[in-house]
Amino acid sequence: MACGVFRPALEALRSDGRLPLFETVFLPSALHLDPARLRQRLEEALGERRPSERVLCLYGGCVPDMDALCHRHGAARPPGGHCYEMLLGSRRYAALIAECPGTYFVDQGLVAHFDDRCWEPLGLEDERVREACFGRYERLLYVRQPGDPELSEQLGEIAARLGLRLAIEDADYAELEENLLRLMDAPLLATLTLV
C-alpha cells in the first residue's frame, strides 16, 4: 500500500527489475488534505488484507501514530517521517532542511493541482492568510521524479505567488529501494514489529 506520490518511484524500480513484482494499492495523495479521511482509508485498506499477506505501508508519518496503525494491522513501514525524505534519501533530506529549515516541498501532483488543493481551499489570495500559512518558508523545493512533465513555468508562478525562491532536486531511489528490499526479505514476524 502506498501514497500516490510513490507511484513513479515504484514503477521505475519495478521496470528496471530492481524490485520484485508485487501488488500495489495506491491511495490518492490528495488524502493528505484531510488527515482523518486518510487514516480512515488506511484503516480500511489495511483491514482488507489477508492474514497470509505481507503488507508494506509506504507512507511517512502522515497521520498521528502511523507506526501503531501499521503494527495493529501487521504491516511494515520503511523508516522516514516524511514522503520527501524517502524520495530524496534521509541524509540528503536532512542536509536540505539544515541548509534551509524554511523549505516547502512539492511534487508533480501538488504542482499540477496547487490551486485546487492549496490556493483556493486555504484562501491564499488574501495576503494575511498567505503570510500566516507561508510566512515562515523561504524556498519552494520541487522533488522531480523521472517521467515528470516539464513544470518550470508552473513552479516559477507558484514560487512567485508565495514569495519563495525556487529550487529543484531530483529524487534518488537508492535508499527507498534498499529499505523496501530489506522489509520484503525480513521474516514475517519482523513485519509485526514497529519500524
Is the pLDDT assigned to residue 192 strictly greater than 60?
A: no
126 versus 54: the higher-pLDDT residue is 126
Beta bridge partners of 144: 170
Q: Are 30 and 3 in contact (CB under 8 A)?
A: no
Q: How confident is the model at residue 17 (pLDDT cuts 50, 70, 90)?
A: confident
Residues whose CB falls within 8 Å of the CB of residue 186, separated by 6 or more in sequence, listed in order: 76
The reported pTM is 0.86
Q: Are 75 and 54 in contact (CB under 8 A)?
A: no
